[in-house]
Chains A and B, each alone.
Chain A
Amino acid sequence: MNYDERIKHLYRQKLQFTEEKRQAIGYIDSDDSGMILPPPEKRRKIETISSSGMPVTDMIFPDFQPVSASEEGFFGLRECGENYERLLKMHPVFVDRASGLAGAFMTNFNSYRKTQWNPKHPYTELMPVLEKYQLVHAIGASQHFCQDFTIGLELGFGGLKEKLLKYQQVNRDTKKQQDFYEGCLAIIRGMQDWIGRTAEECKKKSQEESDSELKENLEQLYRINTRLVSQPPETFREACQWILWYQLGARMYNGSGSLGRLDIYLQPYYEKDRAAGCLDDEEAVYYLASMLVRDTGYIQIGGYGPDGKDNTNRLSYLILEAAHRLKIPSNIGLAIGEGIDRNLLRRGVEIQFGDKCGNPRFVGVDSLIQGFMKNGYDYGTAAGRINAGCHWMSIPGREYSLQDCIKINLATILDVAIHDVRDSEPDPDMNVIWAYFEKHLRAAAAGIAASIDIQYKHMYDTFPELFLDLLCYGPVEKGIDASNGGLEYYNFGVDASALAVVADSLAAMEEMVFEKGRYSFAEMVELLDADWSGPEGEKARQYFSNCGKYGQGVSAADRYAVKLSQCFTQEITRAATPDGHRMIPGIFSWANTIPMGKILGASPNGRKAQEPISHGANPNPGFREDGAATAISCAIASVQPGFGNTAPMQLELEPGVAKEEGGVELIAELLADHCRRGGTLINLNILNAEKILEANENPEKYPDLIVRVTGFSAYFASLSPQFRQLVVDRVVRTL
């Protein structure tokens, strides 16, 4: 088997594993993280909460019983670390004879937790505001920031252990610090055990292997993994294997999915091996593919260095190539910037249209850097902040950003405001409604701020970061968990959701109630409370839903969308939390479009109760007859909060557009133009409307169809019918 054949084998295996997961677990409405099923005797299906806070079905080992002092489950630095060590020590090993790297993960540690918050730290006083505004708050959120692999690649697990032991002697003041080191050391022991057992499995398999090339591959994997139990990596392949081990451990611990700047981390190893003549690009692509197949970590390729120079290198292209060869869900964020190699963008667009796998994504680094600097950071620091997740940005190893975890549903705020107006104002107008909206948004933002402070104080005593701590600057040196002050920078990302629903609602209300006077304000509220029921309700719903829409370009709803973004940005940036933590605004709903809609009544834009809210910063489907990509781009650029966090553009294009002469270049320019207008992140799907409709009817016929659902990508057939419909509606009504 040459390298290309081995990559094709990995592709087929991925489809097979995915099918097995579908059979055993059912639908998976989240990132296809590369988890594989444990052996049949180690499978127990459970309903639980994911590390991103969503209800999920997962697989746990029936023979693993966490040890804890509390009946509510295991909590805190030591218990989490030691229980994870136990889980790692019983985790089955996985070696594929044709893969360039060993290892795969089979369960999620998070799924063994009984509760998402330590009851020792109640926050009952905060519950009324959290419930009133249905806030997706900070308490209990984990990961969503990015480690710096430079630390791990330099030290290896042995070096990390020594570093922990050294600082354990320095920071002996508190039990919290000692528990921190014990927790981290337990994790290292667990990882070393897992790697060591995997190395033995490689050896065993090599002895059984009859194919001489694959036997050699397994022998090499044995030698590499035996070394990596303690030693830092020396070669490109070892560096890939080390990164994979860390990523598997971090992913399984609490869902951490960021790999960061892989092209930068791997460059020294690549150059060294190339200079020594022991690595060619084909082989490098094979190792990268062997990594990507086991985890769909978020990677940024390209971007600027602290001096503003373009960081794009050969590996930026090879990482893209590896994903292109694999054609499985992956999450590569390709940097677009005025000073960045345009060929990388062109290649990214070619791959998007060629593969139709929703990969890569595109990161508007110029706007992000300029925006982040508004928070008081210098250029070099801002340039080092990278796309590390669904929509989020983080400075590797230095910043606790907790992005994509905290969200305010603007449609809920409007709902509360409208009812408050009805109860309090005899003769309201749009100014009054807006004032109430602002008032309730401010109250919601205060609730969010308070939740951030609670999280900061107590998360370490609930479910500490530990794994990410190992590769950050500060936690190990100080003996303090990243969630609790161990890092240099704390910038809590707070997102607005349902922008389009609210912008369209305000415009519809203005037109129907206050300009045309077709309904009184009280009648409108009655219609909403009755969920537009009956023929008269439906007629009214039609009136309200056929007003101007955000995205049309020059509509009242466009103006409201900008006003909403500005208002939200102001509320989030006007003050720090009571304990002094900065909040940074973004616009994103992630997969919350469904649950946020589920608990919300009808909206004045004609949305019925329980229907999903709008997607991120995107206009509602059907916003313009032509559904023009430029209109979406223009609208989303106009609502960017502009402080370094993103308001992504979700774009669906037909495959045919790239067939035009110079089509790839035109689409590259469309994307570059969005970033030039202030755009921050682009999630792109190249989809044929007919195919997606057919796949929705018969998903099993399209096992390899991949869609970028929001920030993440997934096999279409693995999504629940409800999630599939969401994608279908978006695509069919846009194309």
Chain B
Amino acid sequence: MKPRGIITNIQRFSLHDGPGIRTTVFFKGCPLRCLWCHNPETYAGERELCYKKSQCIACGQCVEECSQGALSAGTDGLRYTKASCIHCFHCAQNCPSRALFVCGESRSVEETAEEILLDKGLYKSSGGGVTFSGGEATLQSEFVISLASRLKRENLHLALDTCGYCKPEIFRKVVKEMDLCLFDIKHSDADRHKELTGTDNWLIMENLAYLNGMGKKIQIRIPVIPGMNDSRDNFERISEILSDMEMVEEVMLLGYHPLGLSKVFQFDGHQKDFKIRQPKKEELEEVQAFLQVRLPSVKIRFR
């Protein structure tokens, strides 16, 4: 059977996920649970029901559609009993305003490629291409490899944006198809990594070392989360790890941005407490300078 991907979004005109003008494919499912993540709807690999309260017209159609009584009208919008839900998604399919929607669309390689290839000429002329992102794209490795090989037939530049937490044998198969890897380092210390993301970083570091060894171009991406991973100590150790990795061409510091907080569409997603401040430009400049001294041949940028 041909693999199908569960895709949360296909973002065209993407300028931040690798060189040139690109299309980024966001895959559903992520092995990490970063404390600062505001896309909890991408955690699970399966399709799931989401709700945009602001779009709800309270027509009651969904309650009527649900054969399991999993939905009821509450005083503050819709009430959802997940345990009763059989994930038939009739409610979302019949929601007039799309306030109820399914996060994750099941797509074939050809369907996905068709949309991606709409901008084929521009990828080439702008030095861009396609980026596989998530969630974590390697969780859907079979589909990613099929899609990548389909896109390679068109000679497109491919990039993987990964957290690196993946079985090495799978990781190797996936990155083999890529021209560039955007590789996240959330923290250098295994224990702290576990506290922040739910897993340690042994596997991640192993995959990074392998990636460097196989000669793939690497852009390191470090989310800068004040109070969580922005100590000098951490950056010192990251620079030590990267200092002998000749394939690392660039380090991109991604300052935490509260953008997208309103995008919490899960019924229980809003419970998360986001009290993280956005780092100032000067702070990012300091980290940039700190790393630049230690990694003189690597381009250090921030956003």
Please tell me if the beta carbons of B125 and A669 are within 8 angstroms of each other in the complex: yes
A660 at the interface (CB under 8 A from B): yes
Residues of B within 8 A of A629 (CB): 13
Q: Within 8 Å CB of A631, what residues of B? A: 12-13, 118
> Which residues of chain B (83-134) have a CB below 8 Å from chain A?
96-98, 111, 114-115, 118-119, 121-122, 125-126, 128
> Are B21 and A670 within 8 A (Cβ)?
yes
0/1 per residue, B7-26, Cβ < 8 Å to A? Answer: 00101110110001101000
Enumerate chain A residues within 8 angstroms of B9, measured Cβ to Cβ.
625-626
Decide if B125 touches A673 in the complex (CB within 8 Å).
yes
Number of interface residues of B (CB under 8 A): 26
Smallest CB gap from A635: residue in B: B118
Judge if A538 is at the interface, Cβ distance under 8 Å: yes
Measured between beta carbons, the chain B residues less than 8 angstroms from A670 are 13, 21, 122, 126
A663 nearest in chain B by CB position: B15
For the complex, give the distance between the alpha carbons of A535 and B114 in Å: 38
C-alpha gap A666/B13 in the complex (Å): 10
- With a CB–CB cut-off of 8 A, which chain A residues contact B81? none
Binds B, one of A24-32, A290-298, A540-548: A540-548
Chain B neighbourhood of A538, CB < 8 A: 57
- Across-interface contacts of B57 in A (CB, < 8 A): 538-539, 542
When chains A and B are docked, how far (Å) is the Cα of A625 from the Cα of B263?
12
> Is A542's CB under 8 angstroms from B96's CB?
yes
Flag A659-686 by CB within 8 Å of B: 1 or 0 each: 0110100100110110011000000000
Nearest neighbor of B114 in chain A, beta-carbon distance:
A554
B11: chain A residues at CB < 8 Å are: 626, 628
B301 at the interface (CB under 8 A from A): yes
- Nearest CB of A to B180, in Å: 15
Write the chain A residue with the least CB distance to B12.
A628
B257 to chain A, nearest CB (A): 12
A666 and B21 within 8 A (CB): yes
Residues on A with C-beta less than 8 A from B97 are 542, 546
Quick check: is B261 within 8 A (CB to CB) of the other chain?
Answer: no
Q: Check: A561 CB closer than 8 A to any chain B CB.
A: no
- Nearest-CB distance from A423 to chain B (Å)? 28
Closest to A544 in B: B96
Closest residue of chain A to B16, judged by CB? A660
Give the residue among A542, A630, A657, A666 with the most B Cβ atoms within 10 A: A630
CB closest residue in chain B, given A665:
B126
B121 contact from A625, A628, A676, Cβ within 8 A: A676
Q: Does A158 contact B (CB under 8 A)?
A: no
| Complex-state Cα separation, A631 to B20, whole angstroms | 16
User: For residue B121, which residue of chain A has the nearest CB?
Assistant: A673
B89 CB to closest chain A CB, in angstroms?
15
Given A542-B97, A553-B115, the answer on whether A673 and B122 have CB atoms closer than 8 Å is: yes
A670 to B127, CA, bound (A): 11
B109 to chain A, nearest CB (A): 14
B59 interface residue (CB < 8 Å to A): yes
Task: Determine if A634 is an interface residue (Cβ-Cβ < 8 Å).
Answer: yes
In the complex, residue of chain A having the shortest beta-carbon distance to the beta carbon of B99: A542
B291 to chain A, nearest CB (A): 17
Who on chain B is nearest to A536 by CB? B59
Cβ contacts under 8 Å, B20 to chain A? 666
Contacts of B126 in A (CB 8 A): 666, 669-670, 673
Q: Which residues of B contact A630 (CB under 8 A)?
A: 12-13, 21, 23, 118-119, 122
B126 vs chain A, min Cβ distance (A): 4
The residues in A between 501 and 552 inclusive whose CB is less than 8 angstroms from any CB of B are 535, 538-540, 542-543, 546
B61 at the A interface (CB under 8 A): yes
Chain B residue numbers with a CB within 8 Å of A540 are 96
In-complex Cβ contact of B59 among A535, A546, A657 (8 A): A535
- Interface centre among B61, B115, B122, by most chain A C-beta atoms within 10 angstroms, is B122
Which residue of chain B has its CB nearest to the CB of A541?
A: B96
How near does chain B come to A632, taking the closest CB pair, in angstroms? 9
Q: List residues of chain A with CB within 8 A of the CB of B12.
A: 553, 624, 626, 628, 630-631
A626 contacts which chain B residues (CB < 8 A)? Answer: 9, 11-13
Contact with B along A623-661 (1 / 0, CB 8 A): 011101111001000000000000000000000010011
* Least CB distance, B67 to chain A, in whole angstroms: 19
Interface residues of B in 200-248 (CB under 8 A from A): none
Minimum C-beta distance from A21 to chain B (A): 38
Given the known interface contacts A546-B98, A669-B122, the answer about A539 and B115 at a Cβ–Cβ threshold of 8 Å is no
Per the 8 Å Cβ criterion, residues 51-76 of B in contact with A are 57, 59, 61
Once bound together, how far apart are the Cα atoms of A669 and B13, in whole Å?
Answer: 12
Chain B contacts for A634, CB-based, 8 A: 118-119
B119-158 contacts to A (CB < 8 Å):
119, 121-122, 125-126, 128
Contacting A at CB under 8 A, from B164-184, are: none
B301 closest partner in A (C-beta): A661
Task: Pick from B23, B115, B118, B121 the residue with the most CB of A within 10 Å.
Answer: B118
Provide the residues of chain B in CB contact with A542, threshold 8 Å: 57, 59, 96-98
Residues in B whose Cβ lies below 8 Å from that of A660? 15-16
| Minimal beta-carbon separation of A380 from chain B (angstroms) | 29
Query: Which of B266-303 touch A at CB < 8 Å?
Result: 301
- Residues from chain B with a CB closer than 8 A to the CB of A677 are 121
Give Cα distance in the complex from A539 to B125, angstroms.
45
CA distance A171 to B90 in the complex (A): 79
Shortest beta-carbon distance from A310 to chain B in Å = 19
Q: Are A553 and B15 in contact (CB under 8 A)?
A: no
Let me know if A628 and B13 touch, CB within 8 A: yes
Interface residues of B in 27-65 (CB under 8 A from A): 57, 59, 61
- Residue pair A539, B61 in contact (C-beta under 8 Å): yes
Please report the C-alpha to C-alpha distance between residue A535 and residue B59 in the assembled complex, in whole angstroms: 8
A546 vs B9: C-alpha distance when bound (angstroms): 17
- A93 shortest CB reach to chain B, Å: 51
* Cβ contacts under 8 Å, B61 to chain A: 539
Residues of B within 8 A of A673 (CB): 121-122, 125-126
| Contact of B115 with A554 in the complex, beta carbons under 8 Å | yes
Can you name the residue of chain A whose Cβ is closest to the Cβ of B21? A666
CA distance A99 to B126 in the complex (A): 43
Residues from chain A with Cβ under 8 Å of B23 in the complex: 630
How far, in angstroms, from A565 to B181 measured CA to CA in the complex?
42
Tell me, rounded to whole Å, the shortest Cβ–Cβ distance linking B150 to chain A: 16
Distance of B156 from chain A, by nearest CB (Å): 14
Residues of A contacting B128 with CB < 8 Å?
Answer: 666
Hey, which chain B residues are within 8 Å of A539, CB to CB? Answer: 57, 59, 61, 96
Q: With both chains docked as a complex, state the minimum distance between the C-beta of A686 and any C-beta of chain B, in angstroms.
A: 14
23 A-B residue pairings within 8 Å (CB atoms): A535-B59, A538-B57, A542-B97, A546-B98, A553-B115, A553-B118, A554-B114, A554-B118, A624-B12, A628-B11, A628-B12, A630-B13, A630-B21, A630-B118, A657-B15, A660-B16, A661-B301, A663-B15, A666-B20, A666-B128, A670-B21, A676-B121, A677-B121
Besides the known contacts A540-B96, A669-B21, A676-B125, 9 further A-B residue pairs in the complex with CB atoms under 8 A apart? A553-B118, A629-B13, A630-B12, A631-B118, A657-B15, A660-B16, A666-B20, A669-B122, A669-B125
Minimum-distance CB pairs A-B, first 3: A542-B96, A628-B12, A628-B13
